[in-house]
């Protein structure tokens, strides 16, 4: 029975990633593409005083609120204006960038943090200015690995050849990783999903970021109610994650040190 459920979830997740393609990069509709251009402009103003490479994290209060798609679209939109951009999948517990962009999952960030430098930067096929470091193999202690001073060192040495580094981070309320890495960043873009992100949870996450003196550059609200099909599909999906505990996976990982149990086929 469990096996059957696992298989169903695997199929659903792959289908989700395929469907998500309509929400990224050149497939964005006009309004969404314009909204990302506005975000690009706002970030440019907010970080005008930062010399050299600008390093931005993308996070949210909880899981499944649109962080990864926002990070991909932000990186793409910055690449379109001619900036050299590196997108890093720093959600070492639930990485999705490799799969979504059709890249190798490893070697990636975790190998880089452990000292390997060869082949960790991959070229995306989306745009010549758009490079990617995927998550790499899942490490035993992601929070410690990311919080290590090495992260700041790596970011500053990578930054020498780049205009922007965008880091797709885990949610603030579920694990401490985003807070640990925030001191190496120039600022955070905070994603809120309309109809899903609870006010109290957002407030809680913002307070945590403020407590660590993280610069919140602004908020992005994802509206996934594009049409009735999207709307009902989304609510169905939300229910499913509630049931199997997508958000709970962060908690379980933190408690047991175990990796996901492979149910959702993140690999």
Residues near ligand ADP (CB under 6 A) are: 16, 20, 23, 60, 63-69, 96, 222, 224
Nearer Cβ to ligand ADP, position 53 or 100? 100
Which string of DSSP letters, residue by residue, matches 192-238?
EETTTS-HHHHHHHHHHHHHTT--EEEEEEE---SSHHHHHHHHHHH
Cβ atoms 92, 109 nearer than 8 A: yes
DSSP state of 26: G
DSSP state of 173: T
Distance of closest approach, residue 144 Cβ to ligand ADP, in angstroms: 22
Nearer Cβ to ligand ADP, position 53 or 138? 138
Nearer Cβ to Mg ion, position 54 or 67? 67
Tell me, residue by residue from 86 to 125, as one string, x for binding to Mg ion by CB under 5 A and - for no binding.
-----x----x-----------------------------
**Residue 111 contact, options ligand ADP, Mg ion, none, Cβ 5-8 Å cut-off depending on partner type:** none
Per-residue burial over 169-185, b if 16 or more Cβ lie within 10 Å, else e, is bbbbbbbbbbbbbbebb
What are 174's two structure tokens? Answer: 């579920």
Q: Where are the alpha helices (DSSP H) in 24-66?
A: 30-46
Nearer Cβ to ligand ADP, position 14 or 119? 14
> Prior bond to 263 cis, omega within 30?
no
**Residue 151 contact, options ligand ADP, Mg ion, none, Cβ 5-8 Å cut-off depending on partner type:** none
What are 220's two structure tokens? Answer: 């992005």
**Residue 83 contact, options Mg ion, ligand ADP, none, Cβ 5-8 Å cut-off depending on partner type:** none
When asked if residue 68 is in the footprint of Mg ion (CB under 5 A), the reply is yes
Cβ atoms 220, 187 nearer than 8 A: no
Distance of closest approach, residue 92 Cβ to ligand ADP, in angstroms: 13
Which residues here bind Mg ion, judged by CB under 5 A? Answer: 67-68, 91, 96
């Amino acid at each position: 029975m469990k096996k059957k459920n696992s298989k169903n979830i695997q199929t659903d997740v792959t289908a989700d990633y395929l469907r998500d393609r309509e929400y990224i990069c050149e497939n964005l509709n006009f309004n969404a593409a314009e909204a990302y251009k506005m975000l690009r402009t706002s970030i440019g103003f907010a970080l005008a005083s930062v010399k050299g490479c600008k390093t931005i994290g993308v996070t949210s209060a909880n899981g499944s609120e649109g962080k990864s798609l926002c990070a991909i679209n932000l990186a793409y939109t910055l690449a379109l204006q001619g900036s050299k951009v590196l997108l890093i999948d720093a959600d070492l517990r639930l990485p999705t960038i490799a799969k979504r962009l059709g890249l190798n999952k490893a070697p990636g960030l975790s190998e880089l943090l452990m000292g390997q430098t060869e082949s960790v930067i991959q070229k995306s096929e989306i745009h010549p200015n758009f490079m990617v470091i995927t998550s790499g193999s899942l490490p035993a202690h992601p929070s410690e690995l990311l919080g290590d001073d090495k992260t700041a060192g790596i970011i500053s040495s990578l930054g020498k050849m780049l205009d922007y580094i965008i880091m797709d981070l885990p949610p603030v309320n579920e694990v401490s990783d985003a807070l640990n890495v925030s001191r190496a960043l120039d600022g955070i873009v905070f994603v809120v999903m309309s109809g899903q992100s609870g006010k109290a949870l957002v407030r809680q996450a913002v307070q945590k970021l403020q407590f660590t003196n993280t610069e919140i550059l602004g908020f992005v609200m994802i509206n996934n109610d594009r049409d009735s099909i999207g709307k009902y599909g989304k609510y169905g999906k939300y229910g499913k994650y509630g049931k199997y505990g997508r958000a709970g996976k962060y908690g379980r990982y933190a408690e047991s040190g175990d990796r996901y149990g492979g149910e959702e086929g993140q690999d």
